[in-house]
Amino acid sequence: MDQQQGQSQEARPAPETPGGGVVATGGRALLVYATKHGSSREIADAVATELRTAFGDVDVREAGAAPPPAGYDAVVVGGPMIMGWHRDAEKYVKQHRDQLAGVPFALFVTAAALTEDGMTDVHGVPVAKDPWLVKKPRRADKLTRKERYALPSHYLGDIFKACGPARPRTAAVFAGSLDLTTMNIFEKLFVLLIVGVTPGDGRHWDFVREWADEAAKTLSAG
């Protein structure tokens, strides 16, 4: 979700300022993000920085006002899990799924918990799991309700269905930032009782940048 659990904020390096790399001169990419309280926008900005190493023009837009994929050479859509994927992100992929089917695209999700399932893909789509977020279940043969909820297949399965017939080239599940003071009572009860997480900023900037760099290469390959 947009505000996530994690290690103490002091343990996490701040996002780097763009610069230092070789910027591409061709191609247009669209990065569509949804956010509840702003932290997913910061992740989107970090992803956009890496996309600029492969695409000369990267357009970053909030999902509610984003243009359709037509005319772009690649698309990335991301947003937090808030009792399901952010509705603006889901609405975007549903509304434009036919166009997404003709454009290389990738997805990212921010979540409060992630259960290790030993798999590297969901429905054949490669999935990168944030090592600061993913945890092994207590018993692999008998998952708890919270562990089942936090499976990659649970987070991404419905999103991939919403995209159909479009199919992302790659996807990632990142830790985000969890601030209970910004949440309504239903969201608080959900993350504390259903997901069972501890407040804090868990964003792993190095991992975000590494995935985005690989996604840029994958998407620019056509």
Place of tokens 């599940």: 173
180 touches 2 (CB < 8 A)? no
Q: Which residues of 66-86 are buried (b: 16+ CB within 10 A; e: fewer)?
A: beebeebbbbbbbbbbbeebb
φ, ψ at 22 (rounded to 5°): -85, 125
Summarize the confidence of residues 33-44 as an average pLDDT. Answer: 88
* pLDDT, tens only, 4-22: 433 433 344 444 444 444 4
Give the pLDDT confidence of 63-97 residue by residue, as tens digits.
Answer: 999 999 999 999 999 999 877 899 999 999 999 99
Answer yes or no: are the C-beta atoms of 82 and 50 closer than 8 Å.
Answer: no
Q: What is the mean pLDDT of residues 169-186?
A: 76
Buried b (16+ CB within 10 A) or exposed e, 161-190: ebbeebebebbbbbbbbbeeeebeeebeeb
Does 189 have pLDDT greater than 90? no
Which of 52, 61, 59 has the alpha carbon at shortest distance from 33? 61
Domain range summary for the chain, segments of one domain joined by +: 9-220
Q: Give the residue among 146, 95, 156 at the shortest CA–CA distance from 120.
A: 156
Min mean pLDDT across 19-33, 158-172, 181-195 is at 181-195
- Kindly state the tokens that stand for 56: 């000369």
Whole-angstrom Cα distance, residue 157 to residue 155?
Answer: 6
Give the chain's mean pLDDT.
85
Q: Which fold has domain 9-220?
A: Rossmann fold (3.40.50)
- The most confident of 37-46, 76-85, 119-128, 171-180, by mean pLDDT: 119-128
